[in-house]
Amino acid sequence: MNFQSFLGTAAACLAIAASGPLHAQAYPSKPIRLVVPYSPGGLPDTVARVLSSRLQTALGQPVVVENKPGASGAVAAAAIAQSPADGYTLLVSDGPMLAITPLLMQKPAYNAQKDFVPVSLVGTAPLFLAANSRAKFNTLDELVAQSKAKPDSSNYGSSGIGSIHHLTAEAMKAGLGIQVTHIPFRGSGNSVPAMVGGDVDLVFASPPSLMGFVKSGQAKLLAINSAKRSPLAPDVPALAEKIPGFDFAFTVAVLAKTGTPREPIDKISAEIAKIVKQPDVVEQLQKAGVDPIGAGPDQLAKALRAESARITAAAKVANLKAE
């Protein structure tokens, strides 16, 4: 090699070194998938669709929502597991899938702590305790007084054994020292109408499924299961006012496959934090029953650990058994 050729080769090598790895590209450089473990129309699906359009604008890449219901979240978990850990396939889910479902299965198809890493705490979804208009109690205090005077004189409907609605009610009963009979249904689509129709006295349910009945006078709100009162009904007490530390509002979160680099995690987390603070997005999320937060991966990890501990304790109170 002559000196002139040497100089040319050296210059080319320096140019490559300065430009970084040959295939390195800024994130994101291709479409992103938001996998939802439920059918269209549910809460995580609604949140995913609100986020997708805003993320697409912010990131300059298509953001597609994919619904993969089935097997108590196992289908969605498999979709994440089979995808590269590169930040292009994310899970939009809720606390029940992450904390409750593994407690109900002898051999869970996924391990939320090992298979996923936190990205963003989008918000929390509280449930209101509601009674039908014919119930003899109008406040939480009156419910407690009646239950203690006449144990099992009232009942509550849930979305099924092991649901967040069931575990919230059992934790409430233990915390207040009352007896209320549990009647499980197949989803809130059945339990809420049963309450309104007088087949059961009480239900825990999301604001969107209750507020129409409250406005029409067919139901009344007694309490909320979050740590603080809701701006949707500021006169309704939080159960934490009677039971210190009580908080069963479940998380709505974005997660990634374990091994995903920090760059895409931080990028997505930062964008979601900005999105959920936009006034019209706040309105959309609150209408769907979500109190927006927009916290990062560290805060989400802390929230998930606390939520898992509360749910595990409630499952023991409810004598929940894996099947």
pLDDT in tens, 245-280: 999 999 999 999 999 999 999 999 999 999 999 999
Q: Within 13 A of 15's CA, how many CA atoms are on the CB side?
A: 6
Query: What is the CATH number that goes with domain 128-241?
Result: 3.40.190.10
Band of pLDDT at residue 82, cut at 50, 70 and 90: very high
pLDDT in tens, 33-78: 999 999 999 999 999 999 999 999 999 999 999 999 998 899 999 9
3-class SS string, 103-142: HHCCCCCCCHHHHEEEEEEEEEECCEEEEECCCCCCCHHH
Question: Three-state SS for 319?
Answer: coil
Give me the mean pLDDT over the 15-24 stretch: 47
- CA-based torsion, 148, 154, 156, 161: positive or negative: positive
What is the reported pLDDT for 24? 59
What residue spans in the chain does CATH classification 3.40.190.150 cover? 32-125+250-317
pLDDT of residue 290: 96
- With 90 as the cut, is the pLDDT of residue 105 above it? no
Q: Vertex 8, ends 6 and 11: CA angle to 5°?
A: 105
Q: Please count the other Cβ atoms lying within 10 Å of the Cβ belonging to residue 280.
A: 9
Count other Cβ atoms within 10 Å, centred on residue 182: 16
Phi-psi region of 320 (alpha: psi -120 to 50; beta: other; left: phi over 0): beta
Q: What percent of the chain has pLDDT over 70?
A: 93
| Structure tokens, 69 | 């219901």
- What are the Cα distances from residue 141, in Å, to 137, 189, 222, 249? 8, 28, 9, 21
Query: Per CATH, which fold does 32-125+250-317 belong to?
Result: D-Maltodextrin-Binding Protein; domain 2 (3.40.190)
Question: To the nearest whole number, what is the mean pLDDT of the chain?
Answer: 92
Give the tokens for residue 108.
């869970």
For the stretch 202-241, pLDDT in tens is 999 999 999 999 999 999 999 999 999 999 999 999 999 9
- Please list the residue range(s) of the chain that carry CATH number 3.40.190.10: 128-241
The pLDDT, as a whole number, for residue 307 is 96
Residue 22 clears pLDDT 70, i.e. is over it? no
Q: Compute how many other C-beta atoms are within 10 angstroms of the C-beta atom of residue 243.
A: 16
Q: Is the pLDDT of residue 18 over 50?
A: no
The yes-or-no verdict on residue 32 having pLDDT over 60 is: yes
